Structure 1
């Protein structure tokens, strides 16, 4: 039978990205948390954590973390049905992985009714939409928004809609670097802006124009900062249409070339045994996301 004090220690260390912060979250000493992890490993006969910075779960550690995520949600359902267990309960905390562009655009309005109606607080774990599922696989989050359709074993995925991206820059940048209306080849000779190492949207856009290979680019892991760099004439980049409606309407940002926009599909992944709370959040997202996303 599982000792959930030991599993809670494992979850805290992974979720808080370290033994010290994990101990603070549990109200324990770092030594006590370390001893619980060691005891868990002794009982299993194998390690559950790789002592890296931050600590990473092993394969068996990931399975235990996935179990803990689902147990927490099922316990909440039970507390709601047994009033005696509900006394003094803190708001439920859900860890969700999603891409920064969603957080900067449609996500807050989509989840606000759910959070206020259920006394839920969210931990947002930011990850590029192409690789966000790895956080769920590692047991770090209860659900995620990503561009991958195929769900993990024991989970479901549902299509929410697509986020439309356009290749944009300021008119001044285009005039100075691209000479107004250049051939597509000119784009590889001027700086681009890329969100991070996993961001392939600029590459995909260039490929759609028949271009490939390396190109000069700034790295900017911030959706808001990304747009600010564009507005400062530092490069061109793929931006969610949702995020820059005012700039497009005013002409502050314009399309750099006559290429088509890129629609990135977004899928909601959640555990099948996630309880009523995840089921309600899933219903809220599938019902409302179409207000902002391309369906």
Structure 2
């Protein structure tokens, strides 16, 4: 039988990114959390954590995290069916979800606001690039994620939500400086761009669609709002979500470099098969609302 106090300690260390904050979240001393992790490792006969900053789960640690994540969701279902099992002082239901920054900055809040209010649900959102968010599912760190990968991890489902449409934009001042005679596709890879982070390949894919492959000058800015701010202030061109750029385009603060050449990024919702009624209900709500806010993936 599993000792769920030990599994709770493992989950807290990973979710809180360290032993100190895990101890605070569990109401224990750091020493007590450390002892629980050591006892868990003694019982499974191998390490469950790679001690670093932050600590990361080993392969067996990921399996245990996947298990405890799903158990938590199923426990919520049973407590809802048998209120006597609800612990005193239990707060609202909480889900830990990985999501890409552009979705968080645009369509996510209007898509789930009504559901969270109705279900008294609070979210613990982990921001990851759309290309790598699924790593959190594999690590057992989250119950669900929004990302650009369609293939589900073992034990999970993947459902297409739609696509985020991006347009290559720049400020009028940037265009006057780098393209005084008009935007030249051949010159675009030589002009500074803005890239979200080292895992963001969107600008690379866009340039490849124009026939260019290789490196190009770019700023790194791991913030969706900061990304748009850099582009609007002329530091570089960038692929900005259409949903995020509408007002700036209407005011003339941003201009599309190559009109009618958007790039669409399909988004997928991944969630555990045994995640219980709450995850199933949230999935249904996302399928309904995201379809109204995103573009069809094949358009």
What is the TM-score normalised by the length of structure 2? 0.97
- Aligned residue for 2:290, secondary structure, equals helix
- After TM superposition, list the pairs within 5 Å mapping 1:275-286 onto structure 2: 275-286=276-287
Cα RMSD of the aligned pairs, angstroms, is: 1.0
Paired residues, number:
295
Which runs of 5 or more structure 1 residues have no equivalent in the other structure? none
1:107-153: CA deviation from partner (whole Å, max 9, x where unpaired):
01111111111111101101010111000100000000011111011
> Is residue 2:49 matched to residue 1:49?
yes
Match of 1:112 in 2: 113
Name the CA distance, whole Å, in 1 between partners of 2:81 and 2:276: 12
Match of 1:287 in 2: 288
> Is residue 2:240 matched to residue 1:266?
no
Match of 1:235 in 2: 236
- CA drift of 1:21 comes to 0.6
Name the CA distance, whole Å, in 2 between partners of 1:35 and 1:278: 33
Is contact 1:91-1:119 (8 Å) kept? yes
- Aligned residue for 1:184, secondary structure, equals coil
Name the CA distance, whole Å, in 1 between partners of 2:248 and 2:136: 33
* Greater Cα shift, 257-266 or 130-139: 257-266
- After TM superposition, list the pairs within 5 Å mapping 1:252-263 onto structure 2: 252-258=253-259, 260-263=261-264
1:47-100: CA deviation from partner (whole Å, max 9, x where unpaired):
100101100000010000000110000000011011112243211111100100
Name the CA distance, whole Å, in 2 between partners of 1:183 and 1:169: 13
- CA drift of 1:256 comes to 1.4
Match of 2:97 in 1: 96
Match of 1:36 in 2: 36
Name the CA distance, whole Å, in 1 between partners of 2:183 and 2:11: 53
After TM superposition, the runs of 4+ consecutive aligned structure 1 residues lying more than 3 A away are none
Is contact 1:191-1:215 (8 Å) kept? yes
- CA drift of 1:208 comes to 0.7
Name the CA distance, whole Å, in 2 between partners of 1:148 and 1:232: 32
Name the CA distance, whole Å, in 2 between partners of 1:211 and 1:257: 15
Match of 1:201 in 2: 202
Name the CA distance, whole Å, in 2 between partners of 1:283 and 1:257: 37
Name the CA distance, whole Å, in 2 between partners of 1:17 and 1:294: 35
Name the CA distance, whole Å, in 2 between partners of 1:27 and 1:270: 29
Is contact 1:133-1:146 (8 Å) kept? yes
> Is residue 2:62 matched to residue 1:62?
yes
- Aligned residue for 1:213, secondary structure, equals coil
- After TM superposition, list the pairs within 5 Å mapping 1:126-137 onto structure 2: 126-137=127-138
Match of 2:143 in 1: 142
Match of 1:74 in 2: 74
Name the CA distance, whole Å, in 2 between partners of 1:282 and 1:258: 35
Is contact 1:181-1:257 (8 Å) kept? no
What is the TM-score normalised by the length of structure 1? 0.98
Is contact 1:97-1:143 (8 Å) kept? yes
Match of 1:123 in 2: 124
1:155-180: CA deviation from partner (whole Å, max 9, x where unpaired):
00000000000000011110111124
- Aligned residue for 1:185, secondary structure, equals coil
